[in-house]
Amino acid sequence: MVCVLCTALNGETGPHFKLLADAGYECVVPDRSQDLWNNEVLTQVIQGFDAIIAGSEPYPAAVIAASPQLRVLARAGVGFDAIDLTACDEHKIVVATTPGVNHHAVAEHATAMMMAIGRGFPALDQEVRRCEWKRIPLPRISECTLGLVGLGRIGQATATRAVGLGMKVLAFDPYPSADFVKQYDITMVSLEDLLAKSDFVSLHSPMTPTTKHMINDKSIATMKDGAVVINTARGPLIDEAALIRALKSGKLRAAGLDVFEVEPLPASSPLMSMPNVLLSGHIAGMDNESHEDTWALGANIIIRLSRGEWPAECIQNLKGVTDWKW
């Protein structure tokens, strides 16, 4: 019997159980009290499983090498930077993602963070609870400029919402959709121009060696005074130490962060106590619809691979391997 482990958070419920059971496979979830971000713990937990519907936990070479039965890593989400693809190549493990199911959820979350910060929340709520009434005007959001770093599915979904709010939208992307750009009157600019001209900067880029710490002391210095940074993509896109310095100095007005360099965010992080930072715990891609669709797609990828098919969601990481099979 094919054994599937669902390590992704919130995978205790969803259509993947029935889909896999109907295909004759067993699907289980791990003991959530275990620290799956610890390599030794993760190695022990995944032993004996053929496929994993993975979350954000890292899969370095050592974990991959110690899991000889593993055939598939189906990542619940679109990022695979936490997975050592070279090691997966060597051990003939297929890596897949679940694109196209959570872009609306992430776009809504990014927009919600932007709107909340733009209108002064959560500070206004906290002040009223302290019986403090402060009336400080803030810039009208509809007259602000939003800069989108990345114009893929999520960037596009965020752009349509910003256009609906009446914002001017700038975007930086090496390969934008010309039709989308024209339809929604998006202004494509260089990253340097985007940072210099945007009141809000929302990150929607993948995590790569070239995008790591794209928001740093140098790039922040080129941004507008009082700009706001929103990150619902990947934590390491931002040099958190540099961001904290800019938030403390007032160079940046605020930040909305759903992802972090270290997750879960340590209690010792200065971000925890900063009143101009809005936090959430890597949940932007989750709503009822994306929850159902992600688990269903992850399960179907595994089922199709076991039947000898090669779904489009697979990362073509098995270089030179033409005889892959379950």
CA distance 66 to 30: 18
* Local confidence band at 265 (pLDDT 50, 70, 90 cut-offs): very high
CA atoms within 13 A on the CB side of 259: 23
CB 3 within 8 A of CB 49: yes
Sign of CA dihedral 196, 197, 199, 205: negative
CA distance 24 to 250: 58
User: Residues 271-298: what's their mean pLDDT?
Assistant: 95
Question: Is residue 78 classed as helix, strand or coil in its secondary structure?
Answer: coil
CA distance 177 to 160: 14
Name the nearest CA neighbour of 194 among 227, 241, 161: 227
Tokens standing for 95? 């890596």
Contacts of 275 (CB under 8 A, 6+ apart): 123, 126
Query: Which amino acid is it at 312?
Result: A
CA distance 295 to 292: 6
Which of 26, 108, 213, 263 does the annotation list as catalytic? 263
Tens digit of pLDDT for each residue in 145-194?
999 999 999 999 999 999 999 999 999 999 999 999 999 999 999 999 99
CATH, range 103-279 = 3.40.50.720
Tens digit of pLDDT for each residue in 112-129?
999 999 999 999 999 999
Which of 153, 282, 291, 313 does the annotation list as catalytic? 282
Tokens standing for 288? 């009822």
CB 89 within 8 A of CB 318: yes
Contacts of 241 (CB under 8 A, 6+ apart): none
Do the domains at 3-101+287-315 and 103-279 have one common CATH topology? Answer: yes
**Residue at token pair 């959530």:** 32
Tens digit of pLDDT for each residue in 102-113?
999 999 999 999
Tokens standing for 266? 């340590």
282 is catalytic: yes
Beta strands in 275-317 (DSSP E): 277-279, 314-315
What ranges do the domains of the chain cover?
A: 3-101+287-315, 103-279
CA distance 105 to 102: 5
CA distance 12 to 10: 5
289 is catalytic: no
User: Residues 52-77: what's their mean pLDDT?
Assistant: 95
User: Partners of 72 in the beta sheet?
Assistant: 51, 94
CB 67 within 8 A of CB 88: no
- Residue 1 pLDDT > 90: no
313 is catalytic: no
Which of 161, 234, 253, 291 does the annotation list as catalytic? 234
pTM of the model: 0.88
User: Does the domain at residues 3-101+287-315 carry the CATH identifier 3.40.50.720?
Assistant: yes
